[in-house]
Amino acid sequence: MLRTVLLADLADSTQFVERLGDAAAAALWQRLDLQIRDLLEFTGGRLIDKADGLLALFERPVQAVDFALRYQHALHDAAAELKMELKARIGIHVGDVMTWANSPQAVAAGAKPLEVEGLAKPVAARLMNLATPGQILMSGMAQTLAYRAQAELGSERAAKLRWLVHGRYRFKGVPAPMIVHEVGEPGFSPLRLPPSGQKSWREVPLWRRPPMLALEVLCVLGVVGGTLYTTLRSPPALAFHERDWVVVGDMNNFTDDPRLDESLETALRVSLEQSRYVNLVSDIKVRDALTRMGRDPQTTIDRGIGSEIALREGARALLLPSITEVGGQLRVNLEVVDPNTQVTVYAESAEGHGQDSALASIDEVNSDLREKLGEALGDIRANGKPLAQVTTPDIDALQMYSQANEAARQSKLQEARRLLDLALAKDPQFALAYSSRAKLHLVNSDYAAAKADLAMAQRYRARLSNRESLILDARAAESGPPESLLEHWNTYARMYPDAFTAYLEAANVQAYSLQRYEAALASLRPAVSSQNPRQASTMYLIGKMNLALGRYKDAQVAFDKYESLGGRGFNRDHADLFAAQRRYVDADAVLHKQDATGLAGADLEMRLPEATYRLDRGEWRAGLDALGALQKQALQSAPMLARVYAGAELGLRVEEGASGVLPDVQRFIETERLIALQTDHPERQHGLFAALYGASLAARLGDTATARRVLTQLRQPALDSGYPALANMTRVVDAELALSEHQPERAIAALVPTLDGSELNLVHAVLLRAYLQAKSPADAAREADWLADHRGRAFVEWGSEYLLQPVNVVQSSLALLSAAEIAQAQGDVALAKTRRAQFLRAWPQPPGFVAGRLAKLKP
C-alpha cells in the first residue's frame, strides 16, 4: 500500500534520563505516550512502534506534517515545565510499504501488533538521522503533496509555516541523491541546512569545495561564466536522455471508483506517447517480462516489481501513478523512480474537482514530468494535445477502449470489436476508437467497414494526437498506390524512430503490395529490438520473408524465435514452411496450434491449407471439395473471401481442363469487373486483380473477346494503381491472348520485362507454356525448374487475398512433370526419370487429368 511514513527520535534521550532520574523520566514518558496517542488519533495516524522515538503511518503527508508540528510543540511545552531542552528529529517520506499482523502469541511474547516493511521506512530513517534536534525533514514526494494540501492545516497555521528546499543529499550506500525539504515555524524550528556527516552529506557544487578555491581564481581569469557553470554544476538526479525508455507502473487507485484503474492508466500512456523525447516500454513487454521473471502476467507493477522490470528492459526510469480523493478533489500523482535505488527522484501532482478533472490533471503532471526529464518546452507544446481531446472525456468509453486493447493483445478480436462498439456508442466522436476498429476490420478483410471507420476517424481528426494522425494517414493511404503508403510509414518512422510498428507496417507494404521480399527484410531490421512490443510479429514476418526467398533454415529460426517470444494464434505461414518442404505431418501439427480470433474473415483465411495442402499432395477432388466448403462458409460472414475462393476454384478447374467451366468464368469476371470499375469501392484493388485473372482464364479457354474487353477497360486503372501484381496481371492477359493466337514470341515479349524478382508465380507458369509453344525446350526447362524450386514463393505470394495460392502450389508440382517431359523429348533419359520420380513422390496418386501425360513417360 502507498502510505506516509513518519519516524521520530528524541535527541539526547539518555542524558535526559540521567538528569531527571528513572522515576521522573518514566512518568514523563507515560505522559508523552498519552499525548502521542491523542495526537495520532486527531491527525489520523497509526502508531506502529515506539521507544525513545516512534514510527507511525499516515494516509496522507499533510496528516504527518500536522502530527509532527503538534508533537514538537508538545515536547516544547514539556521541556518548559522541566526547564530543560526536549526536541525530536523527524523524517517523513511517502512510498509503498507492506504490513502484516503478528499472531496473539507473538504479541504476548513482546512483538509489535503490526509489522511494517518497505523502502519507505529506511528512507524516512535516513531523513530522521540527518535532521537536527527540532527539525522536520521530508522527501520531495511528501513535501509536494503536503504543500498542496497545507490549507487543511488551517489558514492561520498555514500562513506561519516555512517550506524550505535544502538541496540534494547523498546517503551512504545509496548511489542516487535525494532532494531534502524542511517544514517548520520561524522562531520555533531550526529552518537551516542539516549538517553533513559521515553517513549523509549535501552535494556541494564543485566550485564551492575548499580544494577548488585556489583553482577557481585561476579559472575565472580564463574561462567565461557560462562555460564555468556548465563544467562545474551538480549532476542531475536522474541522467535521462532523448529516446530513453520508461516503465509505467499500475495505477494506484485510492478512490472508490474502479473505472479509473484501466482508463487513467491508458490515458497516461496516450499522453506520454505524444512525446518524441520519452519512450514507453509497452504493456505487452511489461507482461512478457513478468512471465520471464516467473510471475503471473497480471502481477501488480509496484515500486519493487517495476524497478526490476525497468532494469531488465533497459529502461531509465519507473513511473508510479496514483489517484486519490481528498476533500472532494481528485488528485493525480506521478512519481519518477530510479530503478537502481528505487528512490523517488521527482514527484508531480495535480488536482481538480470530480472525475472530469482527471484527464486534465494527467496532462499537467505529464507536461511537468517531460520538462524535468529534459524535453524542450517548445516540443512539449508542439507534441501535446489535451487528453480529453485525443482520447475521450467519457471515462466509461475510455475504460471500454482500454479493455478492447487488452482483448486484442490476447487475440480475442471479436471481443475487442464488441468493446470498441460500446465505447463508440458512449462517445460517437472517439476518433482513436474508430481507428482501432478499422484495424480490426482490415484483419477481417472487411474493407468496406474499415473504410467507413477510417472516414469517421478522419472526420474527427482534431481529436487525435499528432502521432495517431500519422497512423491514420497511413491507414487511409492503404487504398492508394503502395509506394505512397510506404512513404507514409517511413515518415512515421522518421518522426518517431522507436515506433517499431512503422517498420513492421513498411515491411508489410514491401512484402504484400510490392512483392519485394528482400526489401521487406531490410525494413524489419530496426524492429528487431528487445524494446519492440511486437517483436514476435516481427520475427514471424522475417520467417515468412525467408520462406518466400527459399531460405528454409533461416525461416525456421525466425519462427522458433516467434514462438519463444510467446507468439500464438495465426501461424499458417509456419505450417506453410513445412508444406513447402512436403513435411505435411509437421505442417498439420503447427496448424493445430492456431487459435480462433472470433473474426470470421481472419479465421477462414487461416483455414486455406485445408484445401491447398490436399491439392499439394495430389488429392485433387478432396482439395476442390475443401475449397468449395470454405467458399460456402464465407458467403454470409466474409463475402469477399467467398469470391476469392470461387476464383481459386475456377483456376484449378481450368488447369485440369474441366468441361463447362467457361460460363462460370464469365460470371466471375462480370462480378469482379463491376467492382473494379467503381473508383471509390473499398474492394476495388481486389476487383481489378480478380477480373484480370478471370480474363486470363477466359483467353486460355478461347473466349478472347471477353478477355480483350476486360483488358481494354481495366488495363489503365491496373497500371495507375502502382501494384506490381496488377501490372503483371495485364501482361499475363496479353500473353494468354497471344498464346490463343499461336504467337508465343509475342507472349514471351510481354512477360520477360516483368522478371525483376517481384513478379507473380503465374508469370513463370505462362512463360513455361509460351516456351513450349515456341519450341524452346531449354527455356521451358528453366521455367519448370524455377516453379519447382520456388515453392516458398508459391505459398507466400499474396497477390490479392491469396487468390492464386492453390494454383501456384499445384503448378510447382506440375512443373516436375513438365520437366520430365522436356528431358525425355531432349533425350535425357536419366533426368526424365528423376523428374518423373519426384513428381510421383509429390503426387503418389495423381489425378486423372495427368494420366495421359504420365503414360507417355518412360518408367
Write down the pLDDT at residue 107.
78
Helix 431-443 / helix 466-476 crossing angle, nearest 10 deg: 40
For residues 731 and 277, the model is more confident at: 731
108 contact partners, CB below 8 Å, separation of at least 6: none
Q: Lowest-confidence range among 347-351, 388-392, 440-444?
A: 388-392
| Among 380, 425, 376, 379, CA closest to 400 | 425
Residue 477's closest CA among 449, 504, 450?
Answer: 450
94, with CB counted inside 10 A (0-12, 13-18, 19+), is buried
Taking CA atoms, 649 is separated from 623, 626, 629, 811, in Å, by: 9, 10, 11, 14
Q: Mean pLDDT across the stretch 693-704?
A: 97
Q: What is the sign of the dihedral through the CA atoms of 549, 554, 556 and 557?
A: negative
Which segments of 153-204 are extended strands (E)? 162-171, 178-184, 200-202
Pair 765, 792: CB distance under 8 Å: no
Give residue-wise pLDDT tens across range 558-597: 999 998 888 777 789 999 999 999 999 999 999 988 788 7
Residue spans in the chain of domains classed CATH 3.40.50.10610: 244-385
> Could you tell me which of 77, 465, 72 has the C-alpha nearest to residue 273?
465
Stated as kind and residue range, the H or E segment containing 546 is helix 535-548
**Type of residue at 604:** L
Q: 58 pairs with which residues across the strands?
A: 4, 45
CA angle 492, 494, 496 (to 5 degrees): 65
Using the predicted structure, report yes or no on whether residue 843 has a pLDDT greater than 60.
yes
Class of residue 440 by CB neighbours under 10 A (exposed 0-12, middle 13-18, buried 19+): buried
CATH fold of 2-202: Alpha-Beta Plaits (3.30.70)
What's the pLDDT score for residue 238?
A: 62
pLDDT tens-digit series, residues 498-554? 889 999 999 999 999 999 999 999 999 999 988 888 889 999 999 999 999 999 999
**pLDDT score at 859:** 82
Question: What is the mean pLDDT of the segment spanning 278-297?
Answer: 83
Residues with Cβ within 8 Å of 686's Cβ and at least 6 positions away in sequence, in order, are 447, 640, 644, 672, 675, 800, 801
CA dihedral over 829, 830, 835, 836, signed as positive or negative: positive
**586 burial class (0-12, 13-18, 19+ CB within 10 angstroms)?**
middle
Above 80 in pLDDT, residue 768?
A: yes
What φ, ψ does residue 772 adopt, rounded to 5°?
-65, -40
Question: Residue 811 half-sphere exposure, CB side, CA atoms within 13 Å?
Answer: 31
**Reported pTM:** 0.68
pLDDT: is 12 or 209 the higher one? 12
Q: Is 591 helix (H, G, I), strand (E, B) or coil?
A: helix
For residue 587, how many other CB atoms are within 10 A of its CB? 21
Domain 391-479 has CATH 1.25.40.10: yes
The mean pLDDT value of the chain amounts to: 88
Domain with CATH 1.25.40.10 in the chain: 391-479
Map grid coordinates 501513478 to a residue.
321
344, 355, 349: which is closest to 367 by C-alpha? 349
Q: What is the model's pLDDT at position 3?
A: 92
Confidence at residue 221, expressed as pLDDT on a 0 to 100 scale = 59
Nearest to 527 by CA among 495, 559, 503, 494: 503
pLDDT at position 222, please? 53
Please check the confidence at residue 4 and state whether its pLDDT lies above 90.
Answer: yes
Q: State how far the Cα of 669 lies from the Cα of 711, in Å rounded to an integer.
A: 11
The answer to whether 56 and 39 are in contact (CB under 8 A) is no
- Contact at 8 Å (CB) between 468 and 390? yes
Residue identified by cell 508469370 is: 763
Look at 254-268, 650-664, 709-723 and tell me which has the smallest mean pLDDT: 254-268
Distances in Å between the alpha carbon of 211 and those of 170, 203, 218, 227, 477? 20, 15, 13, 20, 65
Q: What percent of the chain has pLDDT over 90?
A: 51
As a whole number, mean pLDDT of residues 823-839 equals 95
Q: pLDDT grade, residue 205 (50/70/90)?
A: low
pLDDT of residue 217: 57
> How many residues in total does the chain contain?
859
Which of the two residues, 107 and 503, has the higher pLDDT score?
503
C-beta of residue 538 within 8 angstroms of C-beta of residue 524: yes
Which CATH architecture best describes the domain 244-385?
3-Layer(aba) Sandwich (3.40)
- CB atoms closer than 10 angstroms to residue 769: 18
Average pLDDT over residues 697-709: 97
Phi-psi label, residue 856: left if phi above 0, alpha if psi -120 to 50, beta otherwise:
alpha
The label of the residue with cell 493525480 reads 332
pLDDT at position 463 is 87
Grid coordinates belonging to 454: 477510417
What pLDDT is attached to residue 798?
A: 94
The band of 270, judged by pLDDT with boundaries at 50, 70 and 90, is confident
pLDDT value of residue 355: 66
- Region 337-360: mean pLDDT is 80
**Fold category of 575-855 in CATH:** 1.25.40
Match 508531480 to its residue by C-alpha cell.
348
Comparison of pLDDT for 119 and 522, the residue scoring more: 522
329 near 351, Cβ under 8 Å?
Answer: yes
With cut-offs at 50, 70 and 90, classify the pLDDT of residue 208. Answer: low
Report residue 212's pLDDT band, with 50, 70 and 90 as the boundaries: low
Q: What are phi and psi of 520, to 5 degrees?
A: -60, -45
Q: Give the pLDDT score at 580.
A: 97
Lowest mean pLDDT: which of 58-67, 464-473, 716-725, 775-784? Answer: 464-473
Q: Name the more confident of 172 and 483.
A: 483
| pLDDT tier at 34, thresholds 50, 70, 90 | very high
Minimal CA–CA distance to 813: which of 842, 786, 778, 775? 842
Q: What is the distance between the alpha carbons of residues 87 and 74, in angstroms, rounded to a whole number? A: 10
Q: Is the pLDDT of residue 651 over 90?
A: yes
**In whole angstroms, how far apart are CA 130 and each of 178, 432, 715?**
12, 50, 83
Q: Are 698 and 707 contacting, i.e. CB atoms less than 8 angstroms apart?
A: yes
Neighbours of 208 (CB within 10 A): 10
> Rounded to the nearest 10 degrees, how much is the dihedral formed by the CA atoms of 265, 266, 269, 270?
-140
The pLDDT of residue 235: 43
Residues of the chain with CATH 3.30.70.1230: 2-202
- Spatial contact of 423 and 386, defined as CB atoms under 8 Å apart: no
Confidence of residue 206 (pLDDT cuts 50, 70, 90): low
pLDDT at 173: 63
Angle between helices 761-773 and 744-751 (to 10 degrees): 150
- pLDDT value of position 236: 46
Q: Identify the helix (H) or strand (E) that includes residue 55.
A: strand 53-58
